[in-house]
Amino acid sequence: MSAPTQLEAKLGAVAPNEDWDAFAEECNAIADGNSGWLNVDEIHRQKHLAPHLDDAGRHELVLFWHRLPGWPDATPGLYGIKKHTIVGTLSNATVRTLVDMAKYADLPWDVILCSDFFSTYKPSNRKVFLGAAEHLSLLPAQLCMVAAHTDDLRAAAAHGFRTVFVPRPRERCSPSGARSKAEGGEFDLVVRSFEELARALEARRPERQQWQRQ
């Protein structure tokens, strides 16, 4: 389920009038326009966001992201992808959030890269994308960003990454009709699940080995 859907399920009883889609959009806008560095946990603690929450509810809001369940295909898909390549995050969440998510939802990342490393956020700052490549000792063209958000993928592509789009219902910038380049679209690949991506990697092993050596 999407984050707004899970927020409604978790906190709807204590904040029945909260618009969780608007909350998610406002958090993204704050991060994108933030002139001074605040990590995501600090942003979620701001009282003008989700104003119907009391202190206990706000504490639960911050912890919510640390215990966020994965999409049903995430765990089996990531284990399948790991057979073929390095799997890592490039997230606006904190290191601790991503560690907790991995433990809670069995997300088998090889490496965590996130905004904490760069004191800025994607997709607006190139530092995030180029810094990820530098930390992995790879060229941008040797990396592939997999995401449900088209703005992240477009920014990654602008800095030389390959792109895979996985649409997710009710996620921001996640249209259901996006197409791959082979279909006249803008992304290198469009799949419906991480498991489908794992199968695609297996089928395209020779091609993948070639571009990873570039």
pLDDT tens per residue across span 180-199: 999 999 999 999 999 999 99
The model carries a pTM of 0.84
Contacts of 64 (CB under 8 A, 6+ apart): 6, 7, 10, 11
More confident: 161 or 16:
161
Confidence of residue 26 (pLDDT cuts 50, 70, 90): confident
Task: Check residue 211 and give its pLDDT.
Answer: 55
Task: Check residue 210 and give its pLDDT.
Answer: 60
Token pair for 184:
């006249």
Domain boundaries, the chain: 3-66, 74-212
Query: What do you get for the CA distance between the two ends of the chain, in Å?
Result: 37
CB 94 within 8 A of CB 113: no
* CATH code of the domain occupying 74-212: 3.40.50.1000
